[in-house]
Structure formats: structure tokens, C-alpha cells
């Protein structure tokens, strides 16, 4: 079930915390003040096994497997930072090889102002 959040701005720390939660989510910008956060379409994903990779203290990769044997990778999220701020999220469905990329743009105060999906 999707949740809708209304706010004037979301800062980089809020977005980073949402992603670090390990949830496979889709963030959709509905208008200038509304983001919709919803599951990425796989029910029960919380029961799967996740491997987190950190580089210099920043979360850079989340790999989701069907179980703790790590024999079947389902999804990979690669996170890219610039000067400590999350700038790109690349989500790959390992089963279908489909990739979705989201580029994050911030204003001079560090507030998220745009999410471009490709």
C-alpha cells in the first residue's frame, strides 16, 4: 500500500534514512509538495536476506537474496554520493535484468528539489 507524504521540502538526510531502512520502495513525486512512497511490487520482501555494503561510512550497495544462502540474487541497489550527499540510486531487478535509475538534485541549502527517473 502506498503512503503519501506532504511537505514543502525533504532534506538529504531524510531521503538517505528512507533508503537505509532497506525497504524496496518507489518514490514518486506527485507535485511540488507531495511524494508517494510505495513498495516496489514484491510482496513479503521483508522476509528476504539483504547484504549491505558500505564505503567510507556511506551505504553504497544493497543486495537482496531469496535466503541466507545467497544463491539467488533478486535485486541490487547501487547508491552514489557526491560530497557525502546521495545523488543517484540505481535499482536492478536481477531476474529480469531491468534497471531503473533515479538522479537526485538538491538546492544550495541541501534540500531535495528534483528526482529524475530513467
| Grid cell locating 8 | 514543502
- The pLDDT mean for the chain works out to 77
Q: What is the pLDDT of residue 98?
A: 92
Our count of domains for the chain comes to 1
47 Rama class: left (phi>0) / alpha (psi -120 to 50) / beta:
alpha
What is the pLDDT confidence band of residue 5, given thresholds at 50, 70 and 90?
A: very low
What average pLDDT does the segment 79-98 reach? 92
Residue 108: give its domain's CATH number.
Answer: 2.40.128
Parent domain of 41: 3-117
pLDDT in tens, 17-32: 566 555 556 666 666 6
Highest mean pLDDT among 14-18, 21-25, 44-48, 108-112: 108-112
Amino acid at each position: 500500500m502506498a503512503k503519501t507524504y506532504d511537505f514543502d521540502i525533504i532534506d538529504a538526510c531524510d531521503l538517505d534514512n528512507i533508503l537505509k531502512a532497506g525497504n524496496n520502495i518507489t518514490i514518486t513525486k506527485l507535485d511540488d509538495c507531495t511524494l508517494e512512497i510505495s513498495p516496489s511490487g514484491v510482496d513479503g520482501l521483508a522476509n528476504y536476506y539483504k547484504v549491505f555494503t558500505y564505503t567510507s561510512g556511506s551505504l553504497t550497495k544493497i543486495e537482496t537474496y531469496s535466503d541466507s544462502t545467497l544463491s539467488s540474487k533478486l535485486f541490487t541497489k547501487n547508491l552514489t554520493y557526491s560530497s557525502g550527499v546521495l545523488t543517484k540510486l540505481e535499482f536492478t531487478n536481477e531476474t529480469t535484468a531491468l534497471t531503473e535509475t533515479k538522479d537526485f538534485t538538491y538546492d544550495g541549502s541541501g534540500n531535495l528539489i528534483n528526482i529524475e527517473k530513467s
